[in-house]
Structure 1
Amino acid sequence: MPKHSLVIGGTRFFGKLLVQRLLRAGHRVTIATRGYAPDPFGSRIERVRVDRRNEHAMRNAFRDATFDIVYDQMCYSPLDAAISTRVFAGKVRRYIMTSTIDAYRGLESTGRPLRESDLAVHAQRIDTGYPWHDPQRATESYIAGKVQAEAYLVRDGSLPLVTVRLAHVLGGPEDFTGRLAYYVDLVRQGGTLRYANPQARVSFMEAAGAADFLAWAGAQDFTGPVNAGAEEPLSAYDLHARVARVLDESAHSVQVAQAGGSPFDFAQPLVLDTTRARALGYRFGHTDEWLDDTIRHHDLAFI
C-alpha cells in the first residue's frame, strides 16, 4: 500500500538512494531540505524548504501535515530530537531516526558483537547546556549528540520510534566522508598506514545497503533500536590491505601504540550484532559482494 514518507536529509549520499527506493515502491515522497543541494527527482517528489534546526520554521512548515513515515537523517542532538517531538507528535505513524555504530564507541569492550541492549539509552544524561548547534563543534559533538538524541526521544515517548544504528557506510564517489578515499589515496601515493590493533574489526555496509535497510524498516511494524551492518567486519589494517590488493599496489604499514591514526583505526573491535534485524526477517549481504567495486569507484573518482 503506498505511503506518504517524509525524508529529512534526502539530497545526498544514502539519503538520496533511500528516496529512490521509496519512489520505486510507489510511495508519495516529500523531502525537507534547506535548498542548498540539488536533487535529481524533478516532479516525482514534493519539497519543503526548511532549516531542520529552526523550530519555528519546522512548526510552520509542517503545521497541517501528516505522514505515514518520517525518516530523520539529520537528528544529530537532543535539541534536534526535541524539535521532532514538538513538530511530529501525533502526526506520524512511524518515526525512523538514522543513528550510527559510533553510538557504541564509549562502551567498554564486551568481547562479543554489540547488541542493541548494550547501549543503555535510558541512563544517558542529556546535556541541556551544551551548544549543540554550534557548527564549529559538529565533529566533537557527533557521538554524544546521537546518543543523547536517542535518549531524548525514548524518554519523551511521543513518537513511534525506530532507531537504526547503521554500521560505517562506505559508498561510491558521493561518499562525502572521505574515509574510504583516505585509504585509496594512501595506497596510490605509496604512503604508510599507521595502525594500532589488526584485530580491532569494525562493521561496515555499502550506501545502497543502508538505503535498502531503511526502506525495509519503514515497511515493518517493530519499534526500538536495531543494528544494521554487512557480514564480515574489517579492521583498518584489513581495509588498507584490501584496497592495496584491489588496486594491485603494495601495502605499506606499521603498527603503533595509539589508535586513531586513520579512519576506522580503533583500539578495540566495534562490531554490530545484527541478530534482531535478522530475526525480524532481514538478510544482510557480505562485504565481499560490494567492497571491491566500491574501492574501484573511489579510485576512478580521485584519478
Structure 2
Amino acid sequence: MHKNILIIGGTRFFGKQLVRRLLAKGHSVTIATRGQTPDDFGDAVQRLHVDRRDETAMHVVFAQASYDLVYDQMCYSPLDAAIALDVFAGKVGRYVMSSTIETYRHLIGNVNRPLREDDLDLSQVSINWQYPWHDPALADISYASGKLQAEAVLLQDGRLPVVSLRIAHVLAAQDDFTGRLASYIRTVQQGLPLHRLAGAGRTSFLNVDEIVDAMLWAGEADFLGPVNLACEGSLSAPQLHERIAHQLGKPALLRVSENGETENSPFDYAHDYAMDTARARSLGYEFSATDDWLDKLILDLHAHLQAVETEAQYA
C-alpha cells in the first residue's frame, strides 16, 4: 500500500539505501536534513531543510504535516526525542527510531548471555535533561547513553507509536563513514598485528542489505517497542581479523594489549557483547547468517580500497 513517509536523515550510509528501497516500492518519500549532504535522488523525493535539534524550526516546518510512517535516523539524545514527541504526536501512524546495540554497553560483563530487549527497563531509566547532549566534543562518549535515554523518553511519554531498532554493528563495502572494517583490512594489508583485549568477546553484526530489509519490515509491521536487529553468528575481533587474513591470503598477526593500553581495535570487547534476536523471530522476521555474506563483503571492500589507492597514485 502506498504510504506517505518521512525520513529524518537519509543521505548517509544505509539511509540512502532505505530511501531507494522505499521509492522502489512506490511510496511517497520526504527527507528532512540540514541540507549539508548532497544526494542523488533527484525529483523522486521531497526535501525539507531543517535542523532536527531546533525545536522552533521543527514546529514551523512540520506544522501542517502528517505521515503514515516516520523513520528517525537522527535521534541521538533525550532532547531530540522530546522534540520529536512535541512535533509529531498525533500526526504519524508509526514512528521508527534507529537505535543501537550500544544501549546495552553498560551491561557488558554483567549479563553472561546474548542480550535481550527486556534487559533494559526503559520505564526505569532516569533522564538527564541538564547534560550537554549537543556538545560535539562529547558526541562519542555520549552516544550510548544518549540513545538509551532517547528510547526511554519516547516510551515513558507514550504519545507516539514507537518502534526502536537496536541495530548491531553495520559492516559495508562502501560509504561506511566509520571506517572500522576498512581499518581491519588495512591492518592485514600492511602486515601489522591486531591489538586486542585478552577476553576477545564476541559481538553482533549486520550488513547494509540486511539492516534495510529489517527497517522495511519494521515499518510495515504493527508491533511496538524495542527490537534487536542482528545477523545470526557473532564474531570476536580476533576472529574477524583472522577471517580477513584468510580471505586476503595474509598472516593473521595478533597482539594482546598490555595493562593500561587503550589502543584496541573496533569491535574488541573484554566480554561477549552479542544480541538475542528471539523477539524479531517471534514477530516473523528471520535474519541471515553472518557467514552467508561476510567473506564476499571483505573481498569487495578490499577491491574498493585497492582501487581508491590506485586512483590516488595516478591523480
Cα contact 1:198–1:235 (8 A) shared by 2: no
CA–CA distance in structure 2, aligned partners of residues 85 and 159 of structure 1: 7
SS at 2:15 equivalent = helix
Match of 1:114 in 2: 115
SS at 2:188 equivalent = helix
Please say if 1:61 is aligned against 2:64.
no
Match of 2:4 in 1: 4
CA–CA distance in structure 2, aligned partners of residues 2 and 172 of structure 1: 31
Deviation string 1:194-243 (CA, Å, 9 cap, x unpaired) is: 21146510000001111110011000000001001001110001101111
CA–CA distance in structure 2, aligned partners of residues 290 and 11 of structure 1: 24
CA–CA distance in structure 2, aligned partners of residues 235 and 145 of structure 1: 26
Aligned residue pairs total 303
Q: Aligned AA for 1:256?
A: S
SS at 1:91 equivalent = coil
Match of 1:159 in 2: 160
Please say if 1:267 is aligned against 2:270.
yes
Cα contact 1:109–1:268 (8 A) shared by 2: no
Shift of 1:119: 1.1
Match of 1:235 in 2: 236
After TM superposition, the structure 1 = structure 2 runs for residues 80-229 of structure 1, keeping only pairs within 5 Å, are: 80-107=80-107, 108-197=109-198, 199-229=200-230
Q: Aligned AA for 1:297?
A: D
Cα contact 2:89–2:160 (8 A) shared by 1: yes
Cα contact 2:76–2:143 (8 A) shared by 1: yes
CA–CA distance in structure 2, aligned partners of residues 109 and 292 of structure 1: 32
CA–CA distance in structure 1, aligned partners of residues 223 and 217 of structure 2: 11
Shift of 1:90: 0.4
Shift of 1:156: 0.9
Match of 1:290 in 2: 293
Cα contact 1:181–1:298 (8 A) shared by 2: yes
Shift of 1:43: 1.0
Q: Which runs of 4+ in 1 moved over 6 A?
A: none
SS at 2:94 equivalent = strand
Cα contact 2:200–2:268 (8 A) shared by 1: no
Whose helix proportion is higher, 1 or 2? 2
Shift of 1:44: 1.0
CA–CA distance in structure 1, aligned partners of residues 60 and 257 of structure 2: 53
Q: Aligned AA for 2:91?
A: K
CA–CA distance in structure 1, aligned partners of residues 247 and 234 of structure 2: 17
Q: Aligned AA for 1:288?
A: D
CA–CA distance in structure 2, aligned partners of residues 113 and 197 of structure 1: 20
Please say if 1:278 is aligned against 2:281.
yes
SS at 1:302 equivalent = helix
CA–CA distance in structure 1, aligned partners of residues 137 and 200 of structure 2: 33
SS at 1:64 equivalent = coil
CA–CA distance in structure 2, aligned partners of residues 47 and 172 of structure 1: 27
CA–CA distance in structure 1, aligned partners of residues 76 and 67 of structure 2: 21
Shift of 1:109: 2.9
SS at 2:68 equivalent = strand
Match of 1:33 in 2: 33
Cα contact 2:199–2:270 (8 A) shared by 1: no
Deviation string 1:48-69 (CA, Å, 9 cap, x unpaired) is: 1111111111111111000011
Q: Aligned AA for 2:280?
A: A
CA–CA distance in structure 1, aligned partners of residues 126 and 233 of structure 2: 33
Q: Note the aligned Cα RMSD (angstroms).
A: 1.3
SS at 2:126 equivalent = coil
> What is the TM-score normalised by the length of structure 2?
0.93
Match of 2:312 in 1: none
CA–CA distance in structure 2, aligned partners of residues 262 and 246 of structure 1: 19
Cα contact 2:200–2:237 (8 A) shared by 1: no
Q: Aligned residues: percent identity?
A: 52
SS at 1:67 equivalent = coil
**Alpha-carbon spacing, 1:126–1:77, altered in 2? closer, same or farther (3 Å):** same
CA–CA distance in structure 2, aligned partners of residues 251 and 5 of structure 1: 46
Match of 2:313 in 1: none
CA–CA distance in structure 2, aligned partners of residues 132 and 214 of structure 1: 26
